[in-house]
Chains A and B, each alone.
Chain A
Amino acid sequence: MTNLDASPIRRSTRPAADRRDRRTAVRTAAKHLGLILLALIMLYPVLWMAVSSLRPNDEIFRSPGLVLDGLQAENYPLGWEALASPFGHYMINSAIVVVGAIIGNLVSCSMAAYAFARLDFTGKRWWFAIMLGTIMLPIHVIIVPQYIMFSQIGWVNTFLPLIVPKMLATDAFFVFLMVQFIRGLPRELDEAARIDGAGHPRIFLRVILPLMVPALATTTIFTFIWTWNDFFSQLIYLTDPDMYTVPVALRSFVDSTVATSWGSMFAMSVVSLIPIFLAFLIGQRFLIKGIATTGIK
């Protein structure tokens, strides 16, 4: 609103406006300064952790700043080998869970979304309401019976309890996101395909899926980040150190080491955050759009 007055023509012709311009400019500069300062404060802890992971242990407790005296990368090999298996082992475990979850979500949620967005069936309103309700259902409410069920079929300490639910479209948030997206696609496309004799599976695969790539990308990135970060269910289902994923391994690292090895702990923390950071850089556009249109973290 303030820069309405800032048009160059006015500036050259009217001295009063000139003064006002300068005041606006000062105010804008102050605002930017404040915002940059705030952004720095927000990101400071993470930056500090990254820098500290390159410091000797005793220095971590002496240097709140970001300037490195010298580069000391040995925390990384130390942290990498600190647990029963090299840290890469846990990263592979996490990657398996993440890939399984992504494939599961993409396939099952897009199918469900197609039905809710395009098909007419008995009790649709009710099913849809139930689906929306499950978005807000906390996992803690269902984890006990779920655990009992999975432990009885011998799935504890496998990745199945973390992947199979995703194959069954239980991340209803993504179903909703895709329903919203499909509703935005012109129905004429379906009709044209139908006239050409295509059935629903064909319309879904040939018409709708190729058009919903942005929604699929959003789903992929969110699933990646949430699954990579997810701690609660991985802590519960993976108790064998060989099956640990990154968050569970990191946590066992914290518990098993005394306060002397913060450097290597920070190093592995940084390693565990790199994939999230990369996903953020690559998928920023989809992430922002995804939460802006469906409104969920």
Chain B
Amino acid sequence: MTALSELQRLRASRGGSARKRDNKAAFLFLLPWFAGLLLITAGPIVMSFGLGFTDYNLIEAPQFNGLDNFERMLTDERLHHALGVTFTYVLVSVPLQLACALGLALLLDRGLRGMSFYRSAFYLPSLLGSSVAIAVLWRQIFGAEGMVNQVLDLIGVQGRGWISDPDTALSTLVVLNVWTFGAPMVIFLAGLRQIPVMYYEAASVDGAPRWMQFRKITLPLLSPIIFFNLVLQIIHAFQSFTQAFVVSGGSGGPSDSTLFYTLYLYQRGFNNFDMGYASALAWLLLVIIGAFTAVNFWAAKHWVFYDD
């Protein structure tokens, strides 16, 4: 069903067929894709690996500098800070977002009247969440005199400048990410629909309480979908950029508290035109995301349940 299960299936299947192949036709149909792979995706990855070992400012030719960029990473305190901010953001916002998505999906499941209305209402923020307009809005509502503080004022709570305070600035971005739980929720809903009703009926007949049904039927059968959402949302969260950029005015402030990794990479590469170092940073990001995904796949063996 998903790209992930497709990959797992591919790994499992072996051998080809001895039938007549359509190599020529396939090459023609895939020509744009091959060109894209070479020039736009795989090619640049290889190229950025090479550039990672150079000093390059776009004007003069790249200068090979060995491992300088990587040594610099070890002592680059802003980078360490950016990593901390990004990890915090990913590890806090993704579980919260998925918990909301799963909770709502369970509430909306099966024959609830008005279900498509609710689904749309909860899904809409996912489409808007990555836009600059919403980031502009966030800047206002979490500002010192913003909407959130006005509401808090009504109930007699003293607010603060959520975005201008380094202690809370990142939380406003976490809230924004949680707000977009609609997309994983729709995926959960589709997954819940795959679980045969008769399992629950049988459990009801046996007198199993609903939380038990949830633990013994829903959770295991939904675990591949949970896994899929987890992998995807983690990768997605690592790439967050727009919101931090707009909310902080491009600086990652206050006090670098919203300095996402991607934002730091952007600053090095496109404000300072420090292309060699930015390439090395890009590779580190690839390695980090790859490592997270690998750990996820490894851990999946222990908790993801496959029916077949």
A residues with CB within 8 A of B = 1, 3, 31-32, 35, 38-39, 42-43, 45-46, 48-49, 60-64, 107-108, 111-112, 114-115, 119-122, 124-125, 127-149, 151, 165, 167-170, 173, 175-176, 199-201, 204, 225, 228-229, 231-232, 235-236, 246-247, 250-251, 254-255, 262, 265-266, 269-270, 272-273, 276-277, 280, 284, 287-288, 291-297
In the complex, the number of residue pairs spanning A and B with C-beta atoms less than 8 Å apart equals 288
Q: Say which size band chain B's interface belongs to.
A: 35 or more
Contacts of B114 in A (CB 8 A): 32, 35
Q: Taking each of A135, A141, A246, which has the highest tally of chain B beta carbons within 10 Å of its own beta carbon?
A: A141
- Interface flag for B195 (CB, 8 Å): no
Query: Is A254 in contact with B139, judged by CB distance below 8 angstroms?
Result: yes
Contacts of A115 in B (CB 8 A): 25-26, 29-30, 33
**Cα distance A255–B126 when bound, in Å?**
25
Residue B187 is within 8 A (CB to CB) of chain A in the complex: yes
Query: Is B120 engaged at the interface, CB distance under 8 Å to the other chain?
Result: yes
Q: When the two chains form their complex, are residues B140 and A250 in contact, meaning their CB atoms are under 8 A apart?
A: no
* Given known A-B contacts A42-B125, A138-B239, A229 and B32 have beta carbons under 8 A apart: no
Q: Is A225 touching B127 in the complex (CB atoms < 8 A)?
A: yes
Among the listed stretches B34-42, B76-84, B299-307, which one makes contact with chain A, having 4 or more residues with CB under 8 Å of it? B34-42
Instruction: Given A121-B22, A295-B1, decide whether A276 and B127 contact each other with a Cβ distance below 8 A.
Output: yes
Indicate with 1 or 0, residue by residue over B255-268, a CB within 8 angstroms of chain A CB atoms: 00000001001100
CA of A236 to CA of B266 in the docked complex: distance in angstroms? 9
A-B interface, 4 closest residue pairs, ranked by CB to CB distance from nearest? A168-B36, A269-B133, A121-B26, A292-B190
Known contacts: A32-B114, A35-B107, A138-B289. The answer to whether A130 contacts B37 by CB under 8 A is: yes
Closest to B117 in A: A39
**Cα distance A107–B35 in the bound complex, in angstroms:** 14
How far is B1's CA from A176's CA once the two chains are assembled, in angstroms?
Answer: 11
Q: Does B98 contact A (CB under 8 A)?
A: no
Q: How far is the CB of B104 from chain A (nearest CB, A)?
A: 8
CB pair A272 B131 closer than 8 Å: yes
For the complex, give the distance between the alpha carbons of A15 and B172 in Å: 52
Known: A169-B33, A247-B132. A140 touches B239 (CB 8 A): yes
